[in-house]
Amino acid sequence: MTESQESPSAVTESDANSSNASTNLSADVALSGLSKDFTGAAGQLSILRGVDLGLNRGDALAITGPSGSGKSTLLYIIGLLDEVTSGNVRVLGSNPASMSESELAKFRNEHIGFIFQDHHLLPQCTVLENVLIPLLAGKGVDDADEQRARDLLTRVGLAERVTHRPAQLSGGERQRVAVCRALINQPEILLADEPTGNLDRATADAVGDLLLELSREENVLLICVTHSVDLAGRFPNHMELRDGRLEPVV
C-alpha cells in the first residue's frame, strides 16, 4: 500500500510527532496537529486536540462521538467553514488560511459538496431546480449540467419527481435530492453531517447505502459524521472523536 492509499486509521493522534504526521500533508484532506478552542463565559474550552488525519479520493470515513465532542466542528474545518486555533490544514493541496473569504467560497462551491441533517431545499423550486442551484453561484447552467442533474435524479430513483416541489416529497426523497445537489458540481470531497438523523430506520439505511454507492461511482472522498452506529458500521473506515482526539474504531 502506497502513502496515498493509506487508510485513515494509519494516521492517528499517537502519530502526531512521527514522520507520517508531516508527510500526511500531501493527502487530499490533510490535518496535522489540528486544535480548536472556544472562549466563552466559562473560559477557554478545547474541542479538538492535536488531530492528525490523511484521506484521499475514494476513501470513505464515518466519524462518531458523543454530542458536543466536536464532530461537526471538525467537518466544518475540513469544509473550510471554520478556522483552526493551531495546526496545519490542507484541502486538495490548498491552505485555507491563505485564502480570502471570496476565494474560500469559490473553492467550496467548486470542490466540496455538503449534505446536512436538514436537507435545506428551497420550497419554491422544483426538484430539478434545487439540484442545479450550486451551479448558479458559479459558471451557470447549460444543457450538459441539466442532463447530469436528471441522470443523478434517475440514479436515486427520482426521475418521475423532477417537477415536484419539496413539500410533495417524503423525508427520504428530499434527502436524496440533497445528495444529488451535493454531487452536481462533481466535487472531489463530499461532507455529510448527520445525513440520516431525521429519517426512519429503513429510509436511513437506504440513504446511507446510496451515499456510499454514489461516492464510489463518482470517486469522491466521503466523510460522514453521525450518531448512528448502524450507519458508521456501513463505512469501510470508522473513527471516534472523544476528548478532542480522533481514534480508529476497530
Q: Looking at the 3D structure of the chain, how many domains does it have?
A: 1
In the chain, where do the E strands start and end? 29-40, 43-55, 60-64, 86-91, 112-116, 189-193, 221-225, 237-242, 245-248
Indicate which CATH number applies to the domain containing 185: 3.40.50.300
Output the pLDDT for position 27. Answer: 94
Output the pLDDT for position 18. Answer: 36
- Quote the domain boundaries for residue 136: 3-248
C-alpha cell at 173: 426523497
Output the pLDDT for position 24. Answer: 55
Output the pLDDT for position 71. Answer: 95
Question: What is the mean pLDDT, run by run of 10 residues, along the chain of 250 residues?
Answer: 39 37 71 91 86 96 93 96 95 95 94 92 97 86 94 94 97 94 95 92 91 93 95 96 92
